């Protein structure tokens, strides 16, 4: 205890010394040279120059200060390494943060559209590097922040999504390789079309989809709210984003990384073992692979083959199906007859189909939802948007139903449009009731 008191005393002495290295800010007249670092106020993050393992190139980056295996969470000049000289980081009086090489050429710089009296750069405890007026701590007035330009790592407080006013997108992109932080093939991003969803993509190709947000988590997805992070999904006129708002226990480091193989890994630091513990990673199986069974296909691990058709659908090309080529999916056995009346089959325990071609309303009831769907001949399915309580809101699907898999943990229900003859609407009321309850 006495030792601790002395230690605390010493660190507080240090922090009043003018040239203390334990600062979290860079002011106008200062610069950070290769070898110097700044540390966030609680000691969680450190900013400085580094080289990845097996590389001699120099990068400006942020890593965990207290974690023994260096874990970089952000890189500034990921596309423009410094090759042959020590770099320098400085703030200009225009409020621009820039990295210079020894011959003073600018290697990397930030943007700023505004002038302030006394611009400084500060590394926050969240791991966010911000440029702001020295006196102004309001995040809305930051001139620039690294959280707007994520690399491969999501930290609590960072948004993944799109600003609808400025058009700015925030998404994760993998490193090219373990020793090269430049932009690799894989991204983790929000797709704003229809009811917004999160995808892992390789270039333009979808690899993995996190089912629609149902108010509590992503339907049929690997990311679920857990005890370490408070997730939220926000959609309004100004922005749409997904975030882990706060780490629930600040003393445990949590992060999500899209790695160079396209795997999204969630992990937390485990002090006793001095290692990262990965607690959720994906994709895990064939059924996670986007649209594995094609349109109107249904994927179930443990079935042989894993792909089958939804009830009332048959393989589009049966011969493909025999050779395990499922991507063309399934078509209806009986065409819909919108005008003389269709019905619906209810499913639960599945991951809901891709919502990029969908429409949603947050306040409609399930009854209203059904009515709207029935009255629109191109509506193929409907569901409650949110599952909290008895469920609320309305989600309507148009076009093909894609990327459905068995997911027994999820009880969110979906009603898929069928020709009345396929669901026994001509049966006795009692039997009809039975058939409406059909589920997998």
Q: Does 274 bind ligand NAG (CB under 6 A)?
A: no
- Contact pick of 28, 234, 252, 336 for ligand NAG (by CB under 6 A): 252
| Region 378-417 residues binding ligand NAG, contact defined as CB under 6 A | 378, 398
| Region 43-62 residues binding ligand NAG, contact defined as CB under 6 A | 53-54
Part of the chain binding ligand NAG (CB under 6 A), chosen from 33-41, 102-110, 337-345, 383-391: 102-110
In whole angstroms, the minimum distance from the beta carbon of 133 to ligand NAG comes to 18
Name the one residue in this structure whose structure tokens are 């030792």.
3
In whole angstroms, the minimum distance from the beta carbon of 295 to ligand NAG comes to 18
Give the nearer residue to ligand NAG in terms of CB position, either 86 or 305. Answer: 86
| Angle, CA of 121, 126 and 128, to the nearest 5° | 35
Q: Does 231 bind ligand NAG (CB under 6 A)?
A: no
Give the nearer residue to ligand NAG in terms of CB position, either 337 or 368. Answer: 368
Give the nearer residue to ligand NAG in terms of CB position, either 212 or 220. Answer: 212
Question: For residue 143, which of 118, 176, 108 has the smallest C-alpha distance?
Answer: 118
- Contact pattern from residue 355 through residue 384 relative to ligand NAG, giving x for each residue in contact according to CB under 6 A and a dash for the rest: ----x-x-xx---x-------x-x------
- Contact pick of 11, 94, 166, 251 for ligand NAG (by CB under 6 A): 251
Question: Using alpha carbons only, how large is the chain's radius of gyration in Å?
Answer: 26
Q: Does 103 bind ligand NAG (CB under 6 A)?
A: yes
Q: Does 84 bind ligand NAG (CB under 6 A)?
A: yes
- What is the three-state SS of the chain? CHHHHHHHHHHHHHCCCCCCCCCCEECCCCEEEECEEEECCCCCEEEEEECCCCCCCEEEEEEECCCCCCCEEEECCCCCCECCCCCEEEECCCCCEEEECCCCCEEEECCCCCCCCCEEEEECCCCCEEEEECCCCCHHHCCEEHHHCCCCEECCCCEEEEECCCCCEECEEEEEECCEEEEEEEEEEEECCCCCEEEEEECCEEEEEECCECCCCECCCCCCCECCEEEEEEECCCEEEEEEEEECCCCCCEEEEECCCCCEEEEEEECCCCEEEEEEEECCCHHHCCCCCCCCEEECECECCCEEECCCEEECCHHHHHCCCCCCCEEECCCCCCCCCEEEEEECCEECCCCCCEEEECCCCHHHHHHHHHCCCCEEEEECCECCCCCECEEEEECCCCCEEECCCCCCCEEEEEEHHHHCCCCCHHHHHHHHCCCC
In whole angstroms, the minimum distance from the beta carbon of 440 to ligand NAG comes to 27
In whole angstroms, the minimum distance from the beta carbon of 376 to ligand NAG comes to 4
Give the nearer residue to ligand NAG in terms of CB position, either 260 or 286. Answer: 260
In whole angstroms, the minimum distance from the beta carbon of 84 to ligand NAG comes to 6
In whole angstroms, the minimum distance from the beta carbon of 289 to ligand NAG comes to 27
Give the nearer residue to ligand NAG in terms of CB position, either 195 or 241. Answer: 195
In whole angstroms, the minimum distance from the beta carbon of 421 to ligand NAG comes to 23
Q: Does 79 bind ligand NAG (CB under 6 A)?
A: no
Give Cβ neighbours of residue 5 (< 8 Å, ≥ 6 apart).
none
Give the nearer residue to ligand NAG in terms of CB position, either 267 or 308. Answer: 267
Give Cβ neighbours of residue 100 (< 8 Å, ≥ 6 apart).
87, 88, 89, 90, 106, 107
Number of residues that bind ligand NAG (CB under 6 A): 21
In whole angstroms, the minimum distance from the beta carbon of 362 to ligand NAG comes to 7
Part of the chain binding ligand NAG (CB under 6 A), chosen from 97-105, 126-134, 194-202, 336-344: 97-105
Q: Does 113 bind ligand NAG (CB under 6 A)?
A: no
- Contact pick of 178, 301, 427, 431 for ligand NAG (by CB under 6 A): 178
In whole angstroms, the minimum distance from the beta carbon of 368 to ligand NAG comes to 6
Q: Does 37 bind ligand NAG (CB under 6 A)?
A: no
| Region 208-227 residues binding ligand NAG, contact defined as CB under 6 A | none
Q: Which two tokens stand for residue 280?
A: 């959720």
In whole angstroms, the minimum distance from the beta carbon of 300 to ligand NAG comes to 30
One-character DSSP codes across 287-339: GGSTTTT-TTEEE-BTBSSSEEEPTTEEESSHHHHHTT--TT-EEESS---TT
Q: Does 179 bind ligand NAG (CB under 6 A)?
A: yes
Q: Does 105 bind ligand NAG (CB under 6 A)?
A: yes
- Contact pick of 21, 69, 166, 249 for ligand NAG (by CB under 6 A): 249
Q: Give contact residues for ligand NAG (rule: CB under 6 A).
A: 53-54, 84, 101, 103, 105, 110-111, 178-179, 249, 251-252, 359, 361, 363-364, 368, 376, 378, 398
């Amino acid at each position: 205890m006495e030792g601790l008191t002395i230690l605390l005393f010493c660190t507080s002495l240090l922090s009043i010394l003018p040239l203390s290295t334990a600062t979290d800010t860079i002011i106008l007249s200062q610069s950070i040279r290769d070898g110097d670092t700044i540390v966030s106020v609680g000691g969680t993050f450190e900013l400085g120059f580094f080289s990845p393992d097996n590389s001699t190139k120099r990068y400006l980056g942020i890593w965990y200060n207290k974690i023994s295996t260096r874990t970089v969470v952000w890189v500034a000049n990921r596309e423009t390494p410094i090759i042959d000289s020590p770099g320098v980081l400085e703030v200009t009086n225009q409020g621009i943060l820039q990295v210079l090489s020894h011959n003073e050429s600018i290697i990397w710089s930030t943007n700023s559209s505004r002038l302030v009296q006394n611009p400084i750069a500060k590394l926050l405890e969240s791991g966010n590097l911000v440029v702001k007026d020295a006196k102004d701590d309001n995040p809305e007035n930051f001139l620039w922040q690294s959280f707007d330009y994520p690399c491969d790592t999501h930290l609590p407080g960072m948004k993944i999504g799109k600003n609808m006013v400025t058009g700015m997108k925030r998404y994760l992109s993998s490193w090219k390789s373990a020793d090269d932080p430049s932009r690799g093939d894989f991204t983790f991003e929000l797709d704003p079309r229809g009811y917004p969803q999160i995808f892992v993509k390789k270039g333009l190709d979808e690899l993995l989809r996190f089912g629609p947000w149902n108010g509590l988590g992503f339907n049929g997805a690997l990311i679920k709210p857990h005890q370490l992070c408070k997730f939220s999904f926000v959609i309004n006129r100004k922005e749409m984003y997904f975030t882990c708002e706060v780490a629930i226990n600040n003393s445990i480091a949590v992060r999500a990384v899209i790695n160079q193989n396209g795997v999204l890994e969630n992990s937390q630091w485990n002090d006793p073992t001095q290692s990262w513990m990965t607690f959720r990673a994906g994709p895990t199986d064939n059924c996670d692979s986007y649209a594995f069974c094609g349109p109107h296909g249904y994927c179930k691990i443990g079935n042989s083959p894993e792909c089958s058709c939804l009830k009332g659908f048959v393989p589009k090309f049966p011969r493909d199906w025999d050779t395990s080529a499922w991507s063309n999916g399934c078509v209806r056995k009986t065409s819909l007859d919108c005008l003389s009346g269709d019905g619906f089959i209810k499913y639960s325990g599945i991951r809901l189909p891709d919502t990029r071609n969908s429409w949603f309303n947050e306040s409609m009831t399930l009854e209203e939802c059904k009515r709207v769907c029935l009255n629109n001949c191109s509506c193929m399915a409907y569901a409650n948007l949110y599952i909290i309580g008895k469920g609320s809101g309305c989600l309507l699907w148009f076009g093909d139903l894609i990327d459905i898999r068995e997911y027994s943990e999820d009880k969110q229900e979906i009603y898929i449009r069928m020709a009345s003859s396929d669901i026994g609407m001509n049966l006795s009321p009692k039997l009809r009731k039975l058939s409406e309850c059909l589920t997998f």
